[in-house]
Amino acid sequence: MIDTAFHQELRQSVRSICKKYPDAYWRELDERRAYPEDFVNELSQTGFLGALIPEEYGGSGLSVTEASIIMEEINRSGGNAGACHAQMYTMGTLLRHGSEEQKRKYLPKIADGSLRLQAFGVTEPNTGSDTTQLKTMAVRKGDKYIVNGQKVFISRTEYSDLMILLVRTTPLDQVKKRTEGLSVLLVDLREAVGNGITIRPIRTMMNHATTELFIENLEVSVDNLIGEEGKGFSYILDGMNVERILIASECLGDGYWFVDRATQYANQRVVFKRPIGQNQGIQFPIAQSYIHLEAANLMRFRAAELFDAGLPCGKEANMAKLLAADASWEAANATIQTHGGFGFAEEYDIERKFRETRLYQVAPISTNLILSYVAEHVLGLPRSY
C-alpha cells in the first residue's frame, strides 16, 4: 500500500503534535512512572483518539488504516502510544454491540476526551490467556448485577472513567460450550472505585500504569450490560483484530525509530578512525531489521485494508502483530548493540524504548498463541491447547 496524500497529511499532523513532547518529556514520565496527561489531552482535543468513532457520535469517522497510522507515528516520534490506543479502540465493543441509548450517552464524550474509556478488564491471575475459564462472577439481583472477582494487568484503570469488564453470568458447569455464559458490563469507575473495586498498582519494567483489581460486591446496573447476556466472549473477540492491527502499528513505529537512531549513531560514531557504520557487522543487523519492518508494514496494511472492507482478517491481523513485534524487537537489539554502552544510558532513550517494545512479544497476545492460531485455523493442524 502506498500512502495517499491524506495519509501523508495525517502523518504530518501527528508529528507536529509529537514534536511538542520530545524525548525529555517521555524520559521524565518514565522516571516518575507518571501518566502522559498533557499528551493524551492534546490528542483527544485534536480528534485523533476519536478516530474510529463515527461522525454521527462526534468522532472523526476514520478507518482502521488511518488509526494505525496515528499509532505508528506516535511511537515513531519516540513517544509511547500505550496511553492512547485503548481510548481509540476499547470503545469498539460499545460501538458494535451497545444499544443506541448507550452509544448516544457515551460515545460523544469519549470522542471529545471529556470521558475516558481506557480500561479493559479481561485477564485474571489464574486464567491468563484462557479467557473462557475466567472466574469473575456477576449475579443478577433485580435491576443490578453483583460482581465479585479479580483482574490483573489491567492498564490505565487509575486514569479511566469507564471500564469494559468481562464477567461470567452463567457458571461454567452450566454451559454447553465453554465460550458461552460470559457477558460484558460497562463499569463507571468514578463510582465503583472505593465502592466495590479496589485498585492496586503493579510496577512493571515499562511505564504502562498497570494495575490489579479486587472486585467485591460491586453493583452494576443492568442498563450497563452491553449487548445480550451470555454473548460477551464473541463481543470481545470481535474487537481483537483491531487491537492486533493497532499494536502492530505501534511496533512498526518503534522499529523505525530504532533503525533511525541506530543509523544516525552508526554514521556519527568514530572508532579506529572510521565511522562504525562502515563495518558490515554494524550495517547488516540494521539493514536486516529495516527489511523485516518493511515486510511487516505490508502485512499491517493488508490486515487493515481487509478490516476496512468488512472482510475476514483474523489471519492477517494476527500475522501482522507477530511480524511487527518480532521486527521491532530485532531492531531494538540491533540498536542496543550499535550504541554499545551508551545504549544502556537513560539519556539516549534506547533503553526506555527497548523495555517498551519488549512487551509486545507477550501482550496483548503472546507470539506463541498467534503461532498456535495460524497452525490450527490456517494450516489445519490439531489444536494444541
Q: In angstroms, rounded to a whole number, what is the distance separating the alpha carbons of residues 168 and 187? A: 15
Instruction: Say which amino acid occupies 9.
Output: E
Average pLDDT over residues 130-158: 95
pLDDT exceeds cutoff 70 at 1: no
pLDDT exceeds cutoff 80 at 183: yes
Q: In angstroms, rounded to a whole number, what is the distance separating the alpha carbons of residues 46 and 328? A: 28
Give domain limits for the chain.
Answer: 5-112, 119-230, 234-379
| Per-residue model confidence as pLDDT tens digits over 62-92 | 999 999 999 999 999 999 999 888 889 899 9
Alpha helices, DSSP H, located in the chain: 5-18, 23-32, 37-45, 64-76, 82-89, 92-97, 100-112, 189-192, 232-238, 240-268, 280-308, 314-339, 350-358, 367-373
Cα 5 from chain centre: 27
pLDDT exceeds cutoff 90 at 131: no
Per-residue confidence (pLDDT) for residue 2, from 0 to 100: 65
Class for the domain spanning 5-112? mainly alpha
Per-residue confidence (pLDDT) for residue 58, from 0 to 100: 96
Contacts of 231 (CB under 8 A, 6+ apart): 182, 183
Instruction: Say which amino acid occupies 136.
Output: T
Q: Identify the CATH assignment for 119-230 out of 2.40.50.140, 2.40.110.10, 3.50.50.60, 3.40.50.1950.
A: 2.40.110.10
CB-based burial of residue 51 (10 Å sphere; 0-12 exposed, 13-18 middle, 19+ buried)? buried
Cα 38 from chain centre: 19
Per-residue confidence (pLDDT) for residue 57, from 0 to 100: 97
* Helix 23-32, helix 350-358: angle, nearest 10: 60
For every residue of 214-264, DSSP letters joined together read EEEEEEEEGGGEESSTTBHHHHHHHTHHHHHHHHHHHHHHHHHHHHHHHHH
Class for the domain spanning 234-379? mainly alpha
Per-residue confidence (pLDDT) for residue 342, from 0 to 100: 97
| Per-residue model confidence as pLDDT tens digits over 26-61 | 999 999 999 999 999 999 999 999 999 999 999 999
pLDDT exceeds cutoff 70 at 231: yes
3-state SS record for 284-295: HHHHHHHHHHHH
Per-residue confidence (pLDDT) for residue 239, from 0 to 100: 85
The percent of residues above 90 in pLDDT, for the chain, comes to: 90
| Per-residue model confidence as pLDDT tens digits over 248-265 | 999 999 999 999 999 999
Q: In angstroms, rounded to a whole number, what is the distance separating the alpha carbons of residues 382 and 219? A: 42
pLDDT exceeds cutoff 80 at 304: yes
Provide the 10 A C-beta neighbour count for residue 14.
22
Burial call 251-277: b when 16+ CB within 10 Å, e when fewer: bbbbbbbbbbbbbebbeebeeeeeebb
Q: In angstroms, rounded to a whole number, what is the distance separating the alpha carbons of residues 231 and 171? A: 14
| Per-residue model confidence as pLDDT tens digits over 162-177 | 999 999 999 999 999 9
C-alpha cell belonging to residue 196: 466495590
What's the residue count for the chain?
A: 385
pTM of the model: 0.95
Average pLDDT over residues 135-152: 97
Q: In angstroms, rounded to a whole number, what is the distance separating the alpha carbons of residues 231 and 26? A: 40
Per-residue confidence (pLDDT) for residue 132, from 0 to 100: 86
Q: Give the active site residues.
A: 243
Q: In angstroms, rounded to a whole number, what is the distance separating the alpha carbons of residues 223 and 320? A: 37
Q: In angstroms, rounded to a whole number, what is the distance separating the alpha carbons of residues 248 and 254? A: 10
Average pLDDT over residues 318-345: 98
> Is-contact 259 292, C-beta < 8 A?
no
pLDDT exceeds cutoff 90 at 3: no
Under DSSP, the state recorded for 2 is P
pLDDT exceeds cutoff 90 at 237: no
C-alpha cell belonging to residue 197: 473495586
Average pLDDT, the chain: 95
